[in-house]
Chains A and B, each alone.
Chain A
Amino acid sequence: SQKIEQNSEALNIQEGKTATLTCNYTNYSPAYLQWYRQDPGRGPVFLLLIRENEKEKRKERLKVTFDTTLKQSLFHITASQPADSATYLCALDGTGGYNKLIFGAGTRLAVHP
């Protein structure tokens, strides 16, 4: 079955540095991958979508890469700020269901001043 792995340990970085989060998947070849941000006690918020034929996508300080050979996506936040502290979820399109998503467990990012 499809499996998505994200770093279970929290990522702690200093303000101004680049945060890099990893999403690995197995037993599947997704047509696209999405990244969401989730703050404690709130619903996830969509950040970026990248399709299988795209290697890189950027939005302001965010960058996502998608390596279908390695079965991996990297999510970068440059010039990180304490306000970027949150849990970041990776989601892949699921088989069956129309626009169904399979979510990873997420990685918690803490940016320290």
Chain B
Amino acid sequence: EAEVAQSPRYKITEKSQAVAFWCDPISGHATLYWYRQILGQGPELLVQFQDESVVDDSQLPKDRFSAERLKGVDSTLKIQPAELGDSAMYLCASSLGSELAGNEQFFGPGTRLTVL
């Protein structure tokens, strides 16, 4: 069964360092999402791509976070510089992106980031 791949699974870094997360969505999925989930809370959307275009980055802290999906397939989320408050689980998800609203989202295993 096709799955969303993410790496690394765990990342420990010191504040002010740069970190990068990678996501490979399910083949054929046009829509890709990056979420941040703080322990005890639900996932919060950071950025959403439709193919290679950003369709929503309203909650992305653009002074330190960046995301790209250059060929409309895999994606990278970067944080520079990392801050203590960035410690969280970073989840990638993908969906078909068809015109039918409500496509289920398929999530990857996430990257657990700890900033020291």
A interface vs B, CB < 8 Å? 4, 31-32, 34, 41-46, 49, 51, 89, 91, 93-94, 96-106
Contact = CB atoms under 8 A, between A and B. Distances in A.
B102 A106 contact: no
B101 A103 contact: no
A44 B110 CA distance: 10
Give the bracket for the number of chain B residues in contact with chain A: 20 to 34
Contact of B110 (A42, A45, A89, A96): A42
Given A4-B42, A97-B56, 15 more contacts: A34-B104, A42-B109, A43-B91, A43-B108, A49-B104, A96-B58, A97-B45, A98-B50, A99-B31, A99-B105, A100-B48, A100-B56, A101-B45, A103-B43, A105-B42
Interface string B101-116: 1111111111010000
Interface of B: 4, 31, 40-45, 48, 50, 55-56, 58, 91, 93, 95, 97, 101-110, 112
A98 B48 contact: yes
B102 A31 contact: yes
B58 A43 contact: no
Nearest to A91: B42
B45 to A, nearest CB: 6
A97 B48 contact: yes
